[in-house]
């Protein structure tokens, strides 16, 4: 059994797998993507051996160890790859921000699935539009202003979200911001209340390993039919 890290996720779009992909990429740790396109990742994992049960991807795996829940897996990898901010208070705040990001994504995703939570967006486009409109009008600015405030609170917002080095919460927030811009280009362009956040997104994108990843074939385009 391979002792290298594997990332199990759906094929063809970045999704929540990207939260973990970005950590491997920034840390420069080799990982293998595993999917067969259509079969549930939980089945693939369970079919191989007696692994710990998982409800949904993304799942990371090394040897016999498997772990799901993007937040938990991100934090786990961050600890392994020295991507926690460092001290107890900063670590706790990074965890807060990371979970805020997951709440934000989950809320946004729900707006695209107002009728059927796990059904395809295209089958509920018309009915769910009012939820999307409401999200853009009220929740989008509320969340983004909060992230802007959090960033600026860290020494004026010219560096990282927490502390003085790039941590896993930076990568989570970065992916959320990219997903936001991709899904809501007009609202993003008009959002003049998040200057620090917009500059931050470009700053993280220009980190050498992240820039190389974004240029590589490993970084997939957004599906364009939901927040994640
Ligand atoms: N809270 C979980 C959510 C996992 C999740 O919803 N995964 C999606 C793909 S992004 C999925 O395949 N869900 C299958 C299902 O809910 O049945 C996490 O953050 O990892």
pTM, full prediction = 0.96
Q: What is the DSSP letter of 53?
A: P
* Nearest residue (CA) to ligand 1, atom 9: 57
* Nearest residue (CA) to ligand 1, atom 11: 56
* Secondary structure string (H, E, C) spanning 82-133: CCCCCCHHHHHHHHHHHHHHHHHHHHHHHHCCCCCCCCCHHHCHHHHHHHHH
Confidence of residue 37 (pLDDT cuts 50, 70, 90): low
Whether the pLDDT of residue 10 is over 60: the answer is yes
* Nearest residue (CA) to ligand 1, atom 6: 56
Ligand 1 contact via 15 beta carbon (within 6 Å): yes
Query: What CATH fold (topology level) applies to the domain 5-80?
Result: Glutaredoxin (3.40.30)
Alpha-carbon separation of residue 72 from 109, 143, 169 (angstroms): 20, 22, 12
Residues pairing with 60 in the sheet: 7, 67
Percent of all residues in the chain with a pLDDT value above 70, rounded to a whole number: 93
The CATH classification of domain 88-207, taken from the options 1.10.1740.10, 1.10.510.10, 3.30.70.120, 1.20.1050.10: 1.20.1050.10
The residue to mutate among 9, 13, 16, 168, having the most atoms of ligand 1 within 8 angstroms of its beta carbon, is 16
CB atoms within 10 A of CB 56: 14
The reply to whether 88-207 shares the fold of 5-80 is no
CB atoms within 10 A of CB 47: 10
Q: Domain map of the chain by residue range?
A: 5-80, 88-207
Q: What pLDDT is stored for residue 142 in this prediction?
A: 98
pLDDT digits (tens, 9 = 90+) for 196-213: 999 999 999 999 999 999
Calculate how far, in angstroms, residue 131's C-alpha sits from the geometric centre of ligand 1.
Answer: 21
Alpha-carbon separation of residue 151 from 61, 154, 159 (angstroms): 32, 5, 8
Q: What pLDDT is stored for residue 134 in this prediction?
A: 97
Asked if 161 and 170 touch (Cβ cutoff 8 Å), the reply is: yes
Average pLDDT across the chain, whole number = 94
- What distance in Å separates the CA atoms of residue 163 and residue 78, rounded to the nearest whole number? 14
Asked if 175 and 58 touch (Cβ cutoff 8 Å), the reply is: no
Confidence of residue 227 (pLDDT cuts 50, 70, 90): confident
- Across the range 37-41, mean pLDDT stands at 66
Cα 199 to chain centroid, rounded: 18
- Across the range 68-84, mean pLDDT stands at 98
Percent of all residues in the chain with a pLDDT value above 90, rounded to a whole number: 84
Q: In what order do the strands lie in the sheet with 59-62?
A: 31-34, 5-8, 59-62, 65-68
Q: What pLDDT is stored for residue 1 in this prediction?
A: 46
81: number of CA atoms within 13 Å, CB side?
22
Q: Which two tokens stand for residue 186?
A: 């007009």
Cα 127 to chain centroid, rounded: 27
Ligand 1 contact via 40 beta carbon (within 6 Å): no
């Amino acid at each position: 059994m391979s002792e290298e890290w594997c990332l199990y996720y759906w094929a063809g779009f970045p999704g929540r797998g990207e939260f973990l992909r970005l950590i491997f990429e920034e840390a420069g740790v080799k990982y293998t993507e595993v999917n067969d396109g259509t079969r549930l990742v939980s089945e693939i994992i369970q079919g191989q051996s007696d692994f710990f049960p998982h409800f949904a991807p993304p799942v990371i795996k090394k040897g016999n160890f498997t772990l799901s829940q993007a937040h938990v897996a991100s934090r786990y990898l961050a600890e392994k790859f020295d991507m926690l901010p460092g001290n107890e208070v900063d670590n706790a705040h990074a965890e807060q921000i990371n979970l805020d990001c997951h709440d934000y994504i989950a809320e946004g995703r729900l707006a695209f699935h107002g009728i059927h939570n796990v059904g395809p967006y295209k089958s509920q486009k018309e009915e769910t539009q009012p939820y999307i409109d409401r999200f853009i009008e009220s929740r989008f600015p509320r969340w983004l202003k909060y992230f802007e405030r959090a960033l600026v609170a860290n020494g004026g917002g010219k560096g990282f979200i927490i502390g003085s080095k790039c941590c896993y919460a930076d990568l989570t927030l970065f992916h959320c911001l990219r997903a936001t811009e991709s899904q809501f280009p007009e609202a993003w362009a008009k959002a003049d209340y998040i200057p620090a956040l917009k500059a931050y997104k470009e700053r993280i994108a220009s980190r050498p390993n992240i820039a190389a990843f974004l240029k590589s074939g490993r970084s997939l385009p957004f599906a364009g039919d939901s927040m994640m």
